[in-house]
Amino acid sequence: MDHDTSRAPVVTPTWRRPDTLPPRPVPPAERTRLRAEFGAAVWAERAARGWSQPVLAAALGVSTRTVQRWEGGTVRPTARVCARLAAAFLPDSDPVSRTVLALRLERAAGSSLRRPRRKPLRAHVRRVREQAAARLERPDAAGGLALAQALAALAPPPEPWARRRPAVRGAA
């Protein structure tokens, strides 16, 4: 006896995990600003080293299309993406230089910077930032004051969270 499955009710989940949702499309005005600021910053760093998009993609372990999307402003970057770009551009430099470049890229992304859905700073990232801050506070560091002022100028203003995480339905 064959069962007719064409009339079976379709079960759709009432909620989806936030990290499985596709990213929202970037509006045209924001896309233009992202392309002009973040995309131009990535392009300038890449061009200064004489790298092509496939070379940068291989250094990061992403597809060439991903690099095209960053430079074209069609996706919003995260702080982690900025840190990975800085590490790819400055692989042999000290953590402070990489952090400065990452903060410059975050500043270029501006309000389009996607907020992480998980822990905002993992332990190893927090340690590197603390080491960079400690290095800046040492009096024997050459140019430490200028670098501290540069880091302070690059730090984005604190933004309150606009949205709160929705409560899970059916939770007690």
Inter-residue contact 105 to 79 (CB < 8 Å): no
Token pair listed for 144: 């430490």
Would the pLDDT of 126 be above 90?
Answer: no
| pLDDT tens-digit map of 6-32 | 565 555 555 555 555 566 778 888 899
Three-state DSSP state, 81:
helix
Percentage of residues in the chain having pLDDT higher than 70: 59
pLDDT of residue 32: 92
16-25, 31-40, 125-134, 159-168: which has the minimum mean pLDDT?
159-168
Angle at 104 between CA 98 and CA 106, to 5 degrees: 105
Q: For the residues of 88-105, what is the DSSP string, one character each?
A: HH-TTS-HHHHHHHHHHH
Per-residue confidence (pLDDT) for residue 123, from 0 to 100: 72
pLDDT digits (tens, 9 = 90+) for 42-99: 999 999 999 999 999 999 999 999 999 999 999 889 888 999 999 999 998 888 889 8
Question: How crowded is residue 41: how many other Cβ atoms within 10 Å of its Cβ?
Answer: 20
CB 100 within 8 A of CB 151: yes
φ, ψ for residue 49, nearest 5 deg: -95, -5
Q: Which of 118, 112, 110 is nearest to 156 (CA)?
A: 110
* Cα distance between residue 151 and residue 155, in whole Å: 6
Q: What distance in Å separates the CA atoms of residue 136 and residue 146, rounded to the nearest whole number?
A: 9
Mean pLDDT of the chain: 76
Burial class (CB in 10 A: 0-12, 13-18, 19+), 144: middle
Under DSSP, is residue 51 helix (H, G, I), strand (E, B) or coil?
Answer: coil
Please give the model's pTM, rounded to 2 decimal places: 0.58
